[in-house]
Structure 1
């Protein structure tokens, strides 16, 4: 097992009705930016619950944060923060809204253009405090310090991370996910699944506890994901999906083990270029990446097949191929297509995504740093 440091500072408020506890986590002098997306929270009761919880507090609303939040929209919200002397951000939504809150929180105290934090690696030395009310389990953003932002003007999707932007608290109420469209539920399950894979499917370092944690999350998603589609108001199923997505990326399972993240980096370029859903890009990239890198990931692919998918092939090559197919089949079962052609894309998309990786100076991806833009192009060619 590799050396590591671990500290998760987010207080999780899990279960039905937990939004009523928000006020107890705020200070009386907080002036709050209530940040949310397209307005669905006003149709499903979440907005009313949050506003009720904020009774007695001064708050300003900012709506319109997109899926794959953009620098352009977040810059508008940042201007509101500065003009209104906001000192706390409450993000109500999925990972995109929470990611956007993190960018705003960091940029509010940054003396230059906040985009420098993402493209130049400018250090985040202070940030506004954040709380979250999660409505779409997927990214784990509610209990980590990571954020991904897209700049439309340059077709760049870049990430940053800092413990200073990790939410202080997060409300996880499974009933808030009942009204989600099927596509968003499916995307969330696939996203959480791939988050686990990025931390698990590398090479063995004698970390059996982390492996078993990861396998438990994967098995839960495989079992409960299809049920979330067929029985959308099953509280137990939605609770299990929500907690699995949080545990997938709160830092625990990735400690002491090598991590990959090439699937995400390649997928980000497809989203930036073609505006595909984040999970759609992951479903395209991962099976092909597993095939191209099956020798480097050999032991863990076989372990995944045996322990998670209960495959019993005696022949190792057959087991590896069957495991890759099982992953692909799971994505398809969730209704998330796994080929570029399913989204009207062809080999041009593979070359353009590879060129974007070069432009963004992403030349050494993967746990071994051996996935170059050229290798990424070959992965996407395979995924046509």
Structure 2
């Protein structure tokens, strides 16, 4: 097991009605930015719950944070923060809104252009505090310090991470997910699944507890994901999916083990260029990446097949292929297509995505730093 440090500072308020507790986590002097997305929270009752919870507090609303939040929209929110001297951000939505809140929180205390934080690695020394009310379980952003932002003007999707922007608290009420469209439910399950894979499907380092944690989350998602589509108001199912997505990327399972993240980095370019859903890009890239790198990932792919998908075959090569197929089949079962051609993308998309990797300096991806642009080209061609 590799050396590590671990602390998770986010207080999780899990369960129905927990939003009532957020008033106890705020101070009377807080000037709050109530940040949310496209307005669905006004249809499902979440908006009213938040307003009621903020009764007596001074707050300003900013709506319109997109899926794959953009630098352009967040820059407008940043103007509101500065104009109203905001001291606390309450992000209500899925990972995109929470990621956006993290960028705003960091940029509010940064003297230059906040985009420098994402493209030039500018240090985040301080940030506005954040709270979250989660409505779409997927990214785990509610209890980690990572953020991904897209700049439309340059077709770049870049990430930054620091514990300084990790939410102080997060409300996880499974009933807030009842009204999600099937596409968003499916995307959330796929996103959480791949988050685990990025921290699990590398090479063994004698970390059996982390492996079992990861396998437990993967097995839960495989079992509960289809049920979430079939029984959208089953509280227990929604609770299990929500908690699995949070646990997939709150830092715990990734401590002491190597990480990959090449699927995400390649996928980000497909989103930046073609506005595909984040989870759609992951479902496209992962099976092809597993096939291309099956020699390097051999032991963990075999372990995944045996322990998670309950596959057995004396021929290990056949078992590896069956495991990759099982991953693809699970994504397809969730209704998330797994080929570039399913989204009307062909060879030109391969070229453009790899060109973007080069432009963004992503020249050595994966747990061995051996996924070069040339290897990424092979992976994307396998995904055609």
Could you state the TM-score of these two structures normalised by the residue count of structure 2?
1.00
Distance (whole Å) between structure 2 residues aligned to residue 336 and residue 383 of structure 1: 14
Partner of 2:220: 220
Distance (whole Å) between structure 2 residues aligned to residue 317 and residue 194 of structure 1: 22
The gaps in structure 2 that reach 5 residues or longer are none
Distance (whole Å) between structure 2 residues aligned to residue 270 and residue 175 of structure 1: 32
Residue 373 of structure 1: how far off its partner (Å): 1.1
Distance (whole Å) between structure 2 residues aligned to residue 348 and residue 223 of structure 1: 37
Which secondary structure does the structure 2 equivalent of 1:61 belong to? Answer: strand
What is the count of residue pairs matched by the alignment?
384
Q: Deviations over 1:266-321 (max 9, x none)?
A: 00000000000000000000000000000000000000000000001110000000
Residue 222 of structure 1: how far off its partner (Å): 0.0
Distance (whole Å) between structure 2 residues aligned to residue 335 and residue 319 of structure 1: 24
Distance (whole Å) between structure 2 residues aligned to residue 377 and residue 147 of structure 1: 26
Partner of 2:311: 311
Residue 101 of structure 1: how far off its partner (Å): 0.1
Partner of 1:23: 23
Distance (whole Å) between structure 2 residues aligned to residue 136 and residue 9 of structure 1: 21
Map 1:1-384; keep pairs closer than 5 Å: 1-384=1-384
Residue 42 of structure 1: how far off its partner (Å): 0.4
Distance (whole Å) between structure 1 residues aligned to residue 156 and residue 341 of structure 2: 23
Distance (whole Å) between structure 2 residues aligned to residue 227 and residue 119 of structure 1: 40
Residue 374 of structure 1: how far off its partner (Å): 1.2
Residue 37 of structure 1: how far off its partner (Å): 0.1
Residue 35 of structure 1: how far off its partner (Å): 0.1
Residue 171 of structure 1: how far off its partner (Å): 0.1
Distance (whole Å) between structure 2 residues aligned to residue 351 and residue 378 of structure 1: 11
Which secondary structure does the structure 2 equivalent of 1:153 belong to? Answer: helix
Runs of 4+ in 1 over 2 A off after TM superposition: none
Distance (whole Å) between structure 2 residues aligned to residue 373 and residue 52 of structure 1: 51
Distance (whole Å) between structure 1 residues aligned to residue 267 and residue 16 of structure 2: 34
Residue 334 of structure 1: how far off its partner (Å): 0.1
Distance (whole Å) between structure 2 residues aligned to residue 374 and residue 108 of structure 1: 39
Which secondary structure does the structure 2 equivalent of 1:158 belong to? Answer: strand
The gaps in structure 1 that reach 5 residues or longer are none
Distance (whole Å) between structure 2 residues aligned to residue 43 and residue 31 of structure 1: 26
Which secondary structure does the structure 2 equivalent of 1:303 belong to? Answer: helix
Distance (whole Å) between structure 2 residues aligned to residue 17 and residue 313 of structure 1: 48
Q: Deviations over 1:200-238 (max 9, x none)?
A: 000000000000000000000000000000000000000
RMSD value, Cα = 0.3
Residue 377 of structure 1: how far off its partner (Å): 1.1
Q: Deviations over 1:67-94 (max 9, x none)?
A: 0000000000000000000000000000
Q: Deviations over 1:107-135 (max 9, x none)?
A: 00000000000000000000000000000
Which secondary structure does the structure 1 equivalent of 2:357 belong to? Answer: helix
Residue 259 of structure 1: how far off its partner (Å): 0.2
Distance (whole Å) between structure 2 residues aligned to residue 80 and residue 276 of structure 1: 29
Distance (whole Å) between structure 2 residues aligned to residue 231 and residue 319 of structure 1: 32
Distance (whole Å) between structure 2 residues aligned to residue 21 and residue 44 of structure 1: 20
Distance (whole Å) between structure 2 residues aligned to residue 279 and residue 239 of structure 1: 20
Residue 138 of structure 1: how far off its partner (Å): 0.1
